[in-house]
């Protein structure tokens, strides 16, 4: 399965690389009030993609913070009291409480 994922990534890289090589022409970006700038098309497309990623991440932040705050409030209070107790000299420390395991990711 990992080999298939890496083959897909390599294919995607080469397709995007070929796209960049085919779009090296200079384009004119016309802004407001008659301002115009020129840049290679591949940079314009890359900048538009990057701005879209930043806008998507910023739109996701409030929801992420809300979920994080909810997860913190649902954490059991017993773990805080267990860490404050120190074992006596010569005694073994209690084993750490097991935390839920996260399922493995596919790697995409």
pLDDT at 1: 85
Number of C-beta neighbours around residue 80 at 10 A: 9
pLDDT tens for the chain, residues 1 to 108: 888 999 999 999 999 888 888 878 899 989 899 899 999 888 888 899 899 999 999 999 999 899 988 888 877 655 555 555 565 666 666 676 666 666 666 665
**Rounded Cα distance, 29 and 38, in Å:** 6
Strands (E), 18-60: 26-30, 36-40
Helix residue spans in 74-102 (DSSP H): 78-84
pTM score, two decimals?
A: 0.51
pLDDT at 59: 95
pLDDT at 74: 79
């Amino acid at each position: 399965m990992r080999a298939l994922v890496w083959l897909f990534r390599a294919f995607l890289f080469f397709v995007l690389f070929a796209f960049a090589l085919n779009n090296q022409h200079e384009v004119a970006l016309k802004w407001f009030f008659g301002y115009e700038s020129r840049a290679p098309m591949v940079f314009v497309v890359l900048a538009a993609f990057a701005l879209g990623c930043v806008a998507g991440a910023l739109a996701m932040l409030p929801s992420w913070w809300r979920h994080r705050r909810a997860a913190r409030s649902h954490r059991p209070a017993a773990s805080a009291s267990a860490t404050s107790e120190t074992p006596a000299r010569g005694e073994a420390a209690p084993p750490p409480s097991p935390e839920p395991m996260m399922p493995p990711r596919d790697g995409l």
